[in-house]
Every structure is written in structure tokens, then in C-alpha cells.
Amino acid sequence: MSEIPSTMLGWVKAEDRPDGFLQKELPVPVPKHGEVLVKTHSTSICGTDLHIWKWDEWSRANVDLGTVTGHETCGTIIGVGEGVEDRIGEQVSIECHIACWACPRCEEGNAHVCENGSIFGVHKHGAFAPYFCVPSINARTNPSDLSLPLASIQDPLGNAIHTLTGGPVEGSTIAIHGLGPIGLFSVMVAKMMGAEKIIAVDWDNKFRMDLATRLGADVVLGKDDDVVRSILEQTDGRGVDNSCEFSGSPEAIKNAIRSTRMGGYLNVLSVYGNELIDIPMNDIVFRYLHLKGINGRKMWGTWEKMHALFSAGFDPSPIITHRFPYHDFKKAMKIVSDGNCGKVILEFEVD
Ligand SMILES: NC(=O)c1ccc[n+]([C@@H]2O[C@H](COP(=O)([O-])OP(=O)(O)OC[C@H]3O[C@@H](n4cnc5c(N)ncnc54)[C@H](O)[C@@H]3O)[C@@H](O)[C@H]2O)c1
Ligand SMILES: [Zn+2]
Ligand SMILES: [Zn+2]
């Protein structure tokens, strides 16, 4: 492996406007105590990166100008800070939730919602750059049967698994609202976990709706369908056991509330561009719904479930539709904004 350079070209959210990204020369970071330095192999683009690109209300409140964003990533450990031993050369993928490991939430096993937590690539510099530092514990060793080019998708795949398993899956009826990459991963995971029926819903993204059919969705609905009525018809009038909301659309969450069975589960991962939306509250009450917000991945239960899926032969490659060299970040963001894609990956120069 070549020597570590002192500077690198990284993508920085630099300007207070939609897009607003500049490729800048930056120092290669030096790992602090407990951290590792990773040479980036690939970084995939997340729905959250699209929010930052669009510079919506949520992004303006959460991302400082000057941040290197990008958090779904994998690479090779090439340096370690004090207190970290024996990790050079390991191939790792990153858990982007950085936890304190000492607060009550961390102690009860909910480090993904650590009271002092922050997000790599949102609140701190991330991985739209050729090198980055993270706490050693956040660099998860890749399963040996997972090829490195696919490894960056463990963050969104983990989101899908965490959301889906917020309710019953095996032998259950499932509705997936929003067929972005995480919704598509959920279709695949629900199929692999033995769901009885999978109803996949998007608005008008034909590319993704067709992909959902190929991935094994039993029914695919869109804007021309009466979503609530169709889901009720598909479930003997009851509604599905488990609804997952991945669209960020106020319309979709209303549909999900009204098409989940009595006492069913509604798990919401989406980030909504505007915080305040109208929802049919009495439906939640009278339908006795378990409504759960989902954030990140359980550390490390979700990662263990995901690695078990890989061992059982789970292959995420049909969802990875585009790869770009990292200098073409803006081209890649344009594809992500247009939405005619599954997962889009930026590839870095590797030795
Ligand atoms: N909470 C977390 O930890 C976390 C982590 C990652 C992503 N997210 C959020 O999860 C969501 C999903 O991300 P993604 O990248 O998979 O998807 P995305 O944002 O790329 O795609 C959303 C999809 O929803 C579809 N859609 C729009 N209106 C709809 C409607 N009324 N009904 C059904 N579908 C509709 C769109 O056509 C699109 O295909 C985003 O909001 C993202 O910000 C949350
Ligand atoms: Zn993400
Ligand atoms: Zn904590």
C-alpha cells in the first residue's frame, strides 16, 4: 500500500444553498485516541445526503457548512490512534451513529439513540473523501463472504432490517411505503425472512416499482391506485400486520396508518422535510397501532441479523444500479435526485 498523503480532495457542503458542494483540498485526518484511519473504498449515497443536497429545513438545522458529508461507507484500516491495536489492514464498514457508551440509553442497549450521540458525515466529517477517521468501535469488520464493492450498503440495509423487524415479518403481511433503496432492500429482506405477502408502494417511480416486482413484491401500487383500499382488499379487509414508511411523504404515512390491521405495527424510518404534518391520530388510537420511530441500526443486534442474512446467501447487488468515480459526485447526485436508480455508489481510488 502506498504512503499516506498529507492532503486529499474531499467533497464539502460549502455554500448555503441547494447543491452548494465544492471539491476542496483538505488535510488527511489523523486518528485520535481510540480512532482508526480508513482509506475509503466506496461510499454510497443516502436519502439523507439528498436532503443535504436539497438543503431543506432538517439539513439546515443539522449540518454545519464546511462539513465533509457521506456516511455509508467501507474501506481498509490504514492507521490507528492511541489505544487501538491490531487492526491495520482490516476491511471494515462504518456504523455512522457515534455513541458515548456511558449514558443510560447506551447502557440499556440503545446506543443508536445515545443521549450524547452524533452522526458521522452529518455532524462530523464523513466519507465523501478518500480518507476518514472514526472511533474504532464504529468500524465493523466485514463478513468474509461480502465483496468490498458492496460493503458500503450495510448502513441502509441495516436501516431496512431494523425497520422491518420492528414488527412481525415471517408469515406476516407487509406493506412497504416508498421504494427508494431502503424500501427496495426491505422488499428483499421481507422475502428472505419468509413474509406471507409483500405490498410495495411508491408514488410514480416506475423504475423502482418495476425493480420491486423483480425483487419479489407480490403487489406493487402507485399514484393511480387507491392505496388504502387496495391494501385492505389484499388482506381480507383487515390491513397488513406490519407497515414500514420509507417515503417521507405525509400522504404515505396517512395511507399506512389507515391500512395497518387492528393492533398492527407501523414503523417509520423516513425523515420528513417539514417537521409538522397532519396525521389521523384517532386512527392510531382506535386501531391500537404500535407506532414506532426507527433511527439507525441496533448496535449491534441489527448488524448481527444482517451478517446472518449474508451467510444465508443474501445478495444486495440487484439494488446497486449505478457506480461513479468519486470525482463525479455531482453527476451521481443528479441521478439520485432524478430517482431513476436504486443504490448509487461512489468509488475511490484503491491500491
Ligand atoms: N431514521 C433514520 O435513521 C434514517 C436513515 C436513513 C434514511 N432515512 C430516511 O429514510 C427515507 C428513505 O430513504 P431512501 O433513500 O430509501 O428513499 P428516497 O428518499 O430515495 O425515496 C423515497 C421514495 O418514496 C417515493 N414516494 C414519494 N411519495 C410517496 C407516496 N405518497 N407513497 C409512497 N411512496 C412515495 C418516491 O417516489 C421515492 O421513490 C428518507 O426519508 C431518508 O431521509 C432515515
Ligand atoms: Zn444513510
Ligand atoms: Zn450514550
Q: What are the pLDDT digits (tens) for 290-336? A: 999 999 999 999 999 999 999 999 999 999 999 999 999 999 999 99
* Within-domain flag for 2: no
* 145 band by pLDDT with thresholds 50, 70 and 90: confident
Q: What local confidence, expressed as pLDDT, does residue 350 receive? A: 79
Q: What local confidence, expressed as pLDDT, does residue 144 receive? A: 84
* Within-domain flag for 79: yes
Final residue before a domain boundary, out of 256, 272, 293: 293
Q: Judge if 11 and 153 occupy the same domain.
A: yes
Q: Judge if 181 and 317 occupy the same domain.
A: no
* Within-domain flag for 315: yes
What spacing in Å lies between the alpha carbon of 297 and ligand 3's midpoint?
15
Q: Judge if 127 and 191 occupy the same domain.
A: no
* Within-domain flag for 180: yes
Q: Judge if 308 and 270 occupy the same domain.
A: no
On average, the pLDDT of the chain sits at 96
d(CA 18, CA 50): 10
- Is residue 180's pLDDT more than 70? yes
CATH number of the domain residue 223 falls in? 3.40.50.720
Final residue before a domain boundary, out of 293, 308, 335: 293
Among residues 141, 138, 134, 140, which one has the least CA distance to residue 29?
134
* Within-domain flag for 343: yes
Q: Report the chain's terminal Cα–Cα distance, integer Å.
A: 6
* 342 band by pLDDT with thresholds 50, 70 and 90: very high
What spacing in Å lies between the alpha carbon of 26 and ligand 1's midpoint?
32
56-87 exposure pattern, b = at least 16 Cβ within 10 A, e = fewer: bebbeeebeeebbbbbbbbbbbbbbbeebeeb
- Is residue 57's pLDDT more than 90? no
What spacing in Å lies between the alpha carbon of 34 and ligand 3's midpoint?
16
Mean pLDDT confidence for 83-106 = 97
Mean pLDDT confidence for 38-67 = 95
* Whole-number CA gyration radius for the chain: 20
* 8 band by pLDDT with thresholds 50, 70 and 90: very high
Q: Judge if 287 and 305 occupy the same domain.
A: no
- Is residue 1's pLDDT more than 70? no
Final residue before a domain boundary, out of 255, 278, 293: 293
CB of 335 shorter than 6 A to ligand 1: no
What spacing in Å lies between the alpha carbon of 3 and ligand 3's midpoint?
36
Q: Judge if 302 and 289 occupy the same domain.
A: no
- Is residue 149's pLDDT more than 80? no
Q: Judge if 13 and 29 occupy the same domain.
A: yes
Q: What local confidence, expressed as pLDDT, does residue 272 receive? A: 85
CB of 251 shorter than 6 A to ligand 1: yes
Give the H or E element holding residue 111. Answer: none
Quote the distance between the C-alpha of residue 4 and its chain's center: 30
If one residue of 62, 161, 188, 203 were mutated to test the ligand 1 pocket, choosing by the most ligand atoms within 8 A of its CB, it would be: 203
Each residue's pLDDT tens digit, 107-118: 999 999 999 999
Select which of 40, 41, 43, 48 is catalytic. Answer: 48
Q: Judge if 217 and 327 occupy the same domain.
A: no
CATH number of the domain residue 89 falls in? 3.90.180.10
Q: Judge if 20 and 100 occupy the same domain.
A: yes
C-beta of residue 341 within 8 angstroms of C-beta of residue 319: no
Q: Judge if 266 and 319 occupy the same domain.
A: no
User: Which region, left, alpha or beta, applies to residue 22 given φ > 0 means left and ψ of -120 to 50 means alpha?
Assistant: beta
Mean pLDDT confidence for 278-287 = 96
Q: What local confidence, expressed as pLDDT, does residue 273 receive? A: 73
Greater confidence (146 vs 24) lies with 24
d(CA 231, CA 248): 19
Mean pLDDT confidence for 173-178 = 99
* Within-domain flag for 162: no
Q: Judge if 197 and 333 occupy the same domain.
A: no
Domain count, the chain: 2
Select which of 51, 97, 112, 125 is catalytic. Answer: 51
Q: Judge if 191 and 130 occupy the same domain.
A: no
Mean pLDDT confidence for 38-65 = 94
Q: Which domain holds residue 225?
A: 167-293
- Is residue 40's pLDDT more than 70? yes
Among residues 214, 206, 157, which one has the least CA distance to residue 183?
157
d(CA 267, CA 49): 22
48 is catalytic: yes
User: Residue 289 carries which side chain, given as an amino acid letter?
Assistant: L
123 is catalytic: no
CB of 158 shorter than 6 A to ligand 1: no
